[in-house]
Structure 1
Amino acid sequence: MHFTTMLNMSLDNPQKLSKDALITSLLSFLENDTLCYRNDGEELYMLQSKLWDPLIDWFEKRFNVKVNSTVTLLNPITDSNSKERLTRHLFSHSFEVLTGYKYSCEASRSLIITCALMEGTIDSEKAANLALLEQNFQIQKWGNVEWSHDIHECDVISRLASSYIFCHFNQEISNIQSIS
């Protein structure tokens, strides 16, 4: 189902998105990235810092950008140089690959997690665990809602794994076509 969805989205383009518009939508995930919003409760904040900060550090070094986080509801500021660098990187991908990126961002609520997944820094299960960190923290504290939390976690993992495979398959197709 996920492959069919991404394939149809990239072929049919029902929203009639240009590559520019698709990249702008991906960059909006950075402005609202789940890894940038921290809980002001000490226990969860420490867990977020422990698990999210290494990935943010990797992202900053890999793309030569600066990522800010906040404990308020106000969006952290992303400077224009960082957006420009990320835009150049994203433009290096085909429309189909960017469609997979968007699918992953929608599942994880994070461009940072998506980039780490697509570059092989983390796998889909680790990506899902990072994306669902707050939910899993609450489950440990208050318990699991049967047939809700489990299904949601499996859905996020399958979406992330599917988008990874979809992106890499389409990247290989692009590489083969450019060689021919």
Structure 2
Amino acid sequence: MSEWTPRRFYEQATPTETSGGYGIALDGHRVMTPGKSALVVPSRALAEAIAAEWQAQGEKIDPGSMPFTRTANSAIEKVAPQKDAVAQMLADYGDSDLLCYRAAEPDALVRRQADLWDPMLDWAAASLGARLVPVTGIMHAPQDAMALKNLADRVHRMTEFELAAFHDLVAVSGSLILGFAATGPDHDPDDLWSLSRLDECWQEETWGVDEEAQALALHKRAAFLHAHRFFVLSGAD
């Protein structure tokens, strides 16, 4: 039996100004989250992106083709009720950041990690007030407590909509520093994604491309780039 999907029941999807921000109306009726909360976002630009997803639907509504709607729903229903816990969970990535765990060999990989990852650690020290120190191997080595506090304070200042996007920027890349870099104008998000895959790319160069792993990487890249766009739009007004 085929899975049931809702049919399109409206003609026009439009952003609307409402109490607390911007909503989306379907023929004048406001969109609700799956849990029946009002779908209200902080910027018109984000509301326009969500409305565009609804407008682009065909005869049947495909939730899988609506990432902005899905992330906004998560911000309202999943992040907001436990905002401090989500923020701390993401901040904890700083103590085991991908950029800090380096290979002992071969020399070419060691040099590549230093050449590409050290500048990001320098950027974090200058821009975020947090100097993280790289170590060799996979054993955990605690980072400076003040550096971690500075990073955590920044995470906790984010809104629930920023955190919903920041979650994917950090969790998909494995790096709190790359996540922060993706929230500002100084770095191209595609370049940051490539930095997060440095070790995987090395393995591909050495042993060849695994098609299943490559497909997963493309999926994660799309999630990372969407999260970057959602973060930017959430603060666009």
2:171 to 106, 130, 133: 106
Normalization by structure 2: what TM-score?
0.67
Letter aligned with residue 87 of structure 1: A
- SS of 1:73 mapped into structure 2: coil
The CA RMSD measured in Å over matched residues stands at 1.8
Distance 1:17 1:123 in 2: 32
- SS of 2:191 mapped into structure 1: helix
Shift of 1:44: 1.0
Whose helix fraction is larger, Structure 1's or Structure 2's? 1
Distance 2:203 2:70 in 1: 31
Letter aligned with residue 34 of structure 1: L
Say whether residues 1:134 and 2:199 are aligned partners.
yes
Contact 1:94/1:171, CA 8 A, preserved across alignment: no
Q: 1:98 to 1:16 in 2, by over 3 A?
A: closer
- SS of 2:136 mapped into structure 1: coil
Partner of 1:47: 112
* Structure 1, 77-86 or 96-105: larger mean CA deviation: 77-86
Distance 1:29 1:142 in 2: 29
Contact 2:131/2:147, CA 8 A, preserved across alignment: yes
Higher relative contact order (CA 8 A, sep 6+): 1
Structure 1: stretches of 5+ with no match in the other structure: none
Shift of 1:40: 0.7
Shift of 1:93: 1.8
Shift of 1:79: 2.1
Aligned residues with identical type, % of pairs: 21
* Structure 1, 114-123 or 134-143: larger mean CA deviation: 114-123
Letter aligned with residue 73 of structure 2: N
Moved over 6 A (4+): none
Shift of 1:114: 0.8
Normalization by structure 1: what TM-score?
0.86
Shift of 1:23: 1.6
Contact 1:124/1:157, CA 8 A, preserved across alignment: no
Say whether residues 1:58 and 2:123 are aligned partners.
yes
Partner of 1:83: 148
2:227 to 152, 163, 175: 163
Whose strand fraction is larger, Structure 1's or Structure 2's? 2
* Structure 1, 21-30 or 83-92: larger mean CA deviation: 83-92
2:138 to 65, 73, 83: 73
Distance 1:144 1:36 in 2: 25
Partner of 2:187: 122
Shift of 1:48: 0.4
Shift of 1:17: 5.2
Contact 1:35/1:110, CA 8 A, preserved across alignment: yes
Distance 1:22 1:74 in 2: 25
Distance 1:57 1:83 in 2: 15
Structure 2: stretches of 5+ with no match in the other structure: 1-63
Shift of 1:66: 1.7
CA deviation vs aligned residue, 1:69-125 (integer Å, no higher than 9, x gap): 211222232222112222222233211101111111111011111111111222222
